[in-house]
Chains A and B, each alone.
Chain A
Amino acid sequence: MSLRFNRRSLLRGVLGGGAVALGIPTLDLFLDGHGQAWADGARLPVRFGTYFWGLGLTDTPAGGTRWVPKTTGPGYEITPELEALRPLRHKVSVLSGFRVIGDGRPNIVHWTGHASILSGVAPAVNNRMDAPSFDTRIADAIGGGTRFKVLDASASGKVVSYSTRTGAAFATPETTPLSLYTRLFGPGFQDPNNADWKPDPSIMLQQSVLSAVGDQRQALMASVGRADQQKLDQYFTAVREMENQLALGLERPEKCESCVVPGAPKSSIKGASVDVVNANTKAMARLLAMALACNQSRVFNFVHTPGASETYMAGASKIYHQITHDEPTDTRLGYQVETSRLAEQVMQGLGDFLAELDAIKEGDGTLLDRSLIMAFSDTGYAKIHSIENIPIFLAGGAGGRHKAGQHIAGKGDAVTRASLTAQMIAGAPAGEFGVGGMRTSRPIIELMA
């Protein structure tokens, strides 16, 4: 009898006359000396997520800023609007000075910025991208073998996602903690640490139903126009992912050391005031983090607030979007005071989000250490819808691939350099990214281990 164990081994024996098998948690035995890879050389899975918030951070027309650190490289100083990142700054890289190069295409306000970051090309029209969002590349590369190839969530109650495979149809996010919980841990969820696992016969029935429509699916695709084909393609992608989920439901899930199935959120509040959005962000971050830890997914997209953010201070009569435009720059202080105050609140959402990922221990580190989160916005200086100096952050160690905790000054480079860097760190097979003036094969090597 072999006594050599690996992470896929089961403890087998006989109990009460019947054979039993018991999974094994992630033991140090199975890890390398740094706790970052399986001892057989395969790395622990890297998780990837995008985090979007609307309206950028606070610059001034004369060149001042409330968020860009003065120093570059490791050990950057914390600026007022980065205060929420202070506890994790050694795990967060700040990317400033990157811009959209539109190649003559106009700035479609509250769209061009993040559409360019995600698709690599300035969009021609509003609410469409000219290429798939790059998170789908990463999902294709690392998202297989999990129940959800990619997860989408939105914290402001709005049905907003910027993840697209076609450029025309976008993912449908969960918009409350309760709906996200139900999707992740409701019907269909199988506790990976449940020793008494059995395949669900109802799943087999569903799988056969889905397979049966294959011929009609092809016939339908052939009979519609291009626009509908794009919609159907996105839809059938979702169907294929569901088939994948069902197939996985017939397999015994691998044990997950850090997976602790959470309880259902007590209630879900939909609202746009920043306290509600941040509360939802924190609650949804906790659920997403546990979904990653329980190996339900490895890729997610999270929208804190949409481009023209409608969040507001509770009790106020103006929304953030309006304030960025109508608030004059304070002459003495040199910046928009209320705008900056809201930016700090919005950044608190990101700080809380990352803290939830960092709270889950995995190996000798945390879930955040094995993840890469790319956080970004739609604008730089929101008052004029600037698409220069769009704030971008890369957070998490990505299993040792990200040399985190640095400030990189882009000096007018295209935002796609950040996107390419994220793809390469996350494990997508990307050698270049972007189109025209934003086409690049130069990742930010200072950030890559």
Chain B
Amino acid sequence: MSALRRLLLLAAASLAAPAPAMAAWTRAFAIEWYEPAMYYGAQSGVTEPGTDCPAGTNPEPDWIKVLTEAGYTREQALWLRNPANPTRSPVHGQNQMAFRGAGRANVYIDPTSTPDGGLVGVTGTIGEGLDLDGDPNTGFVGPAGERGVDNAFYRTLGCWKTFRGPPRLSSGALQNNDAMRDGAWTVVVVVSGRGDDPMNDDDVTVGFYPSGDKLVKDAMGGVAADYTFRIRPDRKLEALFKARSVNGRIQSSRAEEEVWLRDPGAARDLQLLKARIDLSLKPDGSLSGYVGGYRPWKPVYDGYVRARGPVIEALTWVRLPDVFYALRRNADYSPTGPTGEKTHISFALRVDAVPAFVVPPDAKGTARPISYKKQAPPSGQPDSTADRLPFNVVDGIVIPRGAKAVSQPDSALLPPSTTGAGGAQ
């Protein structure tokens, strides 16, 4: 037998032999879009009626009426809303909108100083998300017919204009994701299993982490795949899930008591209790699905106040105190037990992620889905310059540094021609 023939036979034998079992597998991703899972029940548009919101989106408040009901004269209300009023900032809105509570209290920080205006919520029966309480008789029916989908956040805010629209087309999701895609923050996902088949593995771990590396866009404006991201350890923002995969669908094998993610919204930090995932590995290598749990509802409200109450109210057609009342009314979970105060509300995120290379904080090797919290600097790191507001927000309104967020005197609430030298200047 020639040496060449022996070599060929050896090669063939080595190919025919069973391959050694893989010790583990790892997949990594960068989130390219995520948004609250708000099932959309209309054919198109934002304001149109649908099965979710039969009356359509909550309409724009009549701000003149809102102000007059808060004790302002019609003349004052008209001037406060007049673009020519120099106290109405084209960027930050009219600060006086804050002071419409009893005794001109600031309704943003004291929402109960004004009556509940009644934010209309979702009345449809279909919802997206996860079964958080294990009870198929509570919650929505999923789009595919699954029962027990717990998403009271959607029930509460799903008819608010900022959240309503087809997937990836609501104004809030567009704005927040555009900021992320333009570099404001990055979230990476690391998935690994102990078996030999990522599609079917009983022991899967999934980790969500912040990264200091910015997303990169491709020539078509989408998020480019296969870029490298380094995990930025954070003492708070980290979410680890135990799961199993069946035919590529990765579902939690248990509820995680507490995880933290970067919120794709005004709250910024998202705590999830009893958290779960339902993610799918797609044939194109991407990852899509849901992450959910019970989130504290008060930071949701506070986030919108911090985002400048007059701006949020004007642009999203809502009275912020109504959001406060609605979240409080629909909260469905208490960490202290069934009889405790309902501080949390069921919630889910719709997540889409592209394949990426993710490395650990020391950039050595490939990241694994483990906790990196101990490597975080004690004081944490700011997300980015975009997360630091370039203006001074106090109690929901923008004022000069050192000033106080207080109501204007009555003498300043009418145009100068009406009040003479003492008018608004």
Interface residues of A (CB under 8 A from B): 61-62, 99, 101-108, 110, 112, 124-127, 271-273, 308-310, 312, 316-319, 321-322, 325-326, 328-331, 383-388, 411-412
Contacts and interface: CB of A to CB of B under 8 A. Distances in A.
B83 A385 contact: no
Contact of A106 (B46, B161, B171, B184): B184
B406 interface: no
B104 to A, nearest CB: 22
A327 to B, nearest CB: 10
B24 interface: no
- Give 5 nearest A-B pairs by CB, closest first: A310-B90, A104-B214, A331-B45, A106-B386, A107-B182
Given A321-B90, A329-B46, A383 B171 contact: yes
A322 B92 CA distance: 10
Contact of B317 (A62, A103, A127, A326): A326
Nearest to A272: B83
Q: Which of A125, A308, A384, A386 gathers most chain B CB within 10 Å?
A: A384
A325 B45 contact: no
Contacts of B63: 317
Interface stretch (B121-129, B173-181, B282-290): B173-181
B385 A385 contact: no
A105 B216 CA distance: 10
11 contacts: A104-B213, A106-B184, A107-B184, A108-B385, A272-B90, A308-B90, A317-B81, A325-B171, A328-B57, A331-B43, A386-B178
Contacts of A328: 45-47, 57, 161, 171
Contacts of A107: 178-179, 182-184, 386
A109 to B, nearest CB: 8
Contacts of A110: 91
B292 to A, nearest CB: 25
Contacts of A105: 183, 214, 385
Given A318-B83, A331-B45, A308 B91 contact: yes
B45 A329 contact: yes
Given A106-B214, A384-B175, A387-B182, 20 more contacts: A62-B169, A105-B183, A106-B184, A106-B384, A107-B182, A107-B386, A125-B385, A272-B90, A316-B83, A317-B63, A318-B83, A325-B315, A326-B60, A326-B315, A328-B46, A331-B43, A331-B44, A383-B174, A384-B178, A412-B219
A33 to B, nearest CB: 45
A412 to B, nearest CB: 4
Interface size class of B (residues with CB under 8 A): 35 or more
A377 to B, nearest CB: 16
Interface string B249-275: 000000000000000000000000000
A321 B91 CA distance: 8
B113 to A, nearest CB: 25
A86 B155 CA distance: 49
Contacts of A272: 83-84, 90
A326 B314 contact: yes
A411 B90 CA distance: 33
Contacts of A61: 169, 174
B220 interface: yes
Contacts of A321: 90-91
A316 B210 CA distance: 44
B221 interface: yes
B396 to A, nearest CB: 17
Nearest to A309: B90
A106 B45 contact: no
A126 B390 contact: yes
A310 B84 CA distance: 9
Nearest to B220: A412
Nearest to B80: A317
A99 B182 CA distance: 11
Contacts, number: 105
A322 B315 contact: yes
A61 B175 CA distance: 11
B133 interface: no
A316 B78 CA distance: 11
Contacts of A411: 219
Given A99-B221, A104-B213, A317 B82 contact: yes
B228 interface: no
Nearest to A386: B178
Nearest to A323: B315
B48 interface: yes
Interface in B57-97: 57, 60, 63, 81-84, 90-91
A45 to B, nearest CB: 38
B407 interface: no
Taking each of A107, A385, A386, which has the highest tally of chain B beta carbons within 10 Å of its own beta carbon?
A107
Interface string B330-370: 00000000000000000000000000000000000000000
Nearest to B64: A317
B316 interface: yes
Interface string B173-214: 011001100111000000000000000000000000000011
A106 B179 contact: yes
A443 B91 CA distance: 35
Interface string B21-43: 00000000000000000000001
A319 B45 CA distance: 23
A310 B86 CA distance: 11
Contact of B221 (A309, A310, A388): A388
Contact of B182 (A106, A326, A383): A106
A103 to B, nearest CB: 8
A388 B178 CA distance: 11
A308 B311 CA distance: 13
Contacts of B169: 61-62
A106 B83 contact: no
Nearest to A322: B314
A105 B182 CA distance: 7
Which of A124, A312, A321 gathers most chain B CB within 10 Å?
A321
Contacts of A124: 385
B164 to A, nearest CB: 9
Nearest to B48: A331
A336 to B, nearest CB: 11
A309 B90 CA distance: 7
Contacts of B60: 326
A307 to B, nearest CB: 9
Nearest to B175: A384
A293 B215 CA distance: 49
Contact of B183 (A62, A106, A312): A106
A155 to B, nearest CB: 15
A386 B217 CA distance: 13
Contacts of A104: 183, 213-214, 216
Contacts of A126: 390
A385 B178 contact: yes
Contacts of A99: 221
B347 to A, nearest CB: 23
B220 to A, nearest CB: 7
